[in-house]
Amino acid sequence: MSFKPLLRAALSLLLCFATATLAFSQQSATAKGQPPKQNASSTIEQLTSRYEKSGREAYDRRQDILKAAAVKPGAVVADVGAGTGLFTMMLAEAVGPKGKVIAVEIEKRLVEHIAKRAKEAGFANVETAVCTERSVELPANCADMVFLCDVYHHFNHAKDSMTSIHRALRPGGEVVLVEFKRIPGKSKEWIVKHVRGGQEVFTAEIEAIGFKKVEERDFMNENYFVRFRKVDRK
Ligand SMILES: C[S@@+](CC[C@H](N)C(=O)[O-])C[C@H]1O[C@@H](n2cnc3c(N)ncnc32)[C@H](O)[C@@H]1O
């Protein structure tokens, strides 16, 4: 009897196990509030100058984005993937003292940074939460709007994250999505490489979870703006 096929089977089993273990440990690293790979070597100051610098369209057009979001005073808005808190602060101003912004981040140090920033700016209506790769970790029916700017394409488990967002939204709640236009041959090469899908792909994925596109605005060069409303899950 030849041992070669047995050896080959054992080796491939070992390889599968090693790959699965590696994937799991990478996932649980971010699940525990650690920075995702692309942010790991950056300080908060470096992230601030990356996200809050002129030349980044979401930053340059932040007032237009906020206006388009049409946040109502008194509303509860979850700023998911809040980064350094750029939009958290603007949303906190927009919802006013009767409203609330929940800044949700997968990175614990960013959550701590946002909490400090909100306190220093005098916003008592900002709460923070650390989430995981697969869930925003918010209670059911807690938010009127989920704001996602330059975040959806970072979701490694978009279906699970969006399912948890669906659950966190109240009936009729909305998702505001700001994402890169990904048009091969037209968009910048780094966008085509970095962003895994275009507007149609992301819209179809989000609608499949239990959302309906209700508004689309084209006022930016590199980004699009879409609003979805929560509907019953199929
Ligand atoms: C490009 S930044 C955008 C920050 C902010 N929304 C803005 O526009 O300034 C993307 C952020 O999403 C966060 N992120 C990545 N995966 C996430 C996930 N699964 N859940 C929540 N946040 C996530 C990252 O830590 C990062 O801070």
Where along the chain do its domains lie? 4-31, 39-230
CB 30 within 8 A of CB 133: yes
With CA atoms as reference, report the closest residue to 207 among 196, 218, 199: 199
Residue 78 CA from chain centroid, whole number: 10
Q: Which fold has domain 39-230?
A: Rossmann fold (3.40.50)
What's the 36 CA to ligand 1 centre distance in angstroms? 9
Report the pLDDT value the prediction gives residue 5, as an integer from 0 to 100: 54
Please answer whether residues 206 and 153 qualify as being in contact, where contact means their C-beta atoms are separated by less than 8 angstroms.
no
Helix H or strand E encompassing 180 = strand 169-180
pLDDT at 15: 41
Tokens found for residue 145: 């709007």
Pocket of ligand 1 (CB under 6 A): 36, 39, 51, 58, 80-83, 86-87, 104-107, 110, 131, 133, 149-151, 154-155, 161
CA of 208 from ligand 1 middle (Å) equals 22
CA 171 to chain CA mean position, Å: 21
* 83 vs 105: CA distance, rounded Å: 7
Integer-rounded Cα radius of gyration of the chain: 20
Under DSSP, the state recorded for 49 is H
Which two structure tokens, joined as six digits, stand for 50?
């990356």
* Distance (Å) from CA 165 to ligand 1 centroid: 14
- Which tokens go with 127? 């709460």
**d(CA 135, ligand 1 centre) in Å:** 13
pLDDT in tens, the chain (234 residues): 455 555 454 544 444 344 333 433 444 445 567 777 778 789 999 999 999 999 999 999 999 999 999 999 999 999 999 999 999 999 999 999 999 999 999 999 999 999 999 999 999 999 999 999 999 999 999 999 999 999 999 999 999 999 999 999 999 999 999 999 999 999 999 999 999 999 999 999 999 999 999 999 999 999 999 999 999 986
Model pTM above 0.85 = yes
State whether residue 24 is helix, strand or coil.
helix
Give the C-alpha separation, 158 to 148, whole Å.
Answer: 12
In this structure, the residue with its CA closest to atom 26 of ligand 1 is 83
Instruction: Return the best residue to mutate from 102, 145, 149, 151 for the ligand 1 pocket (most ligand atoms within 8 A of CB).
Output: 151
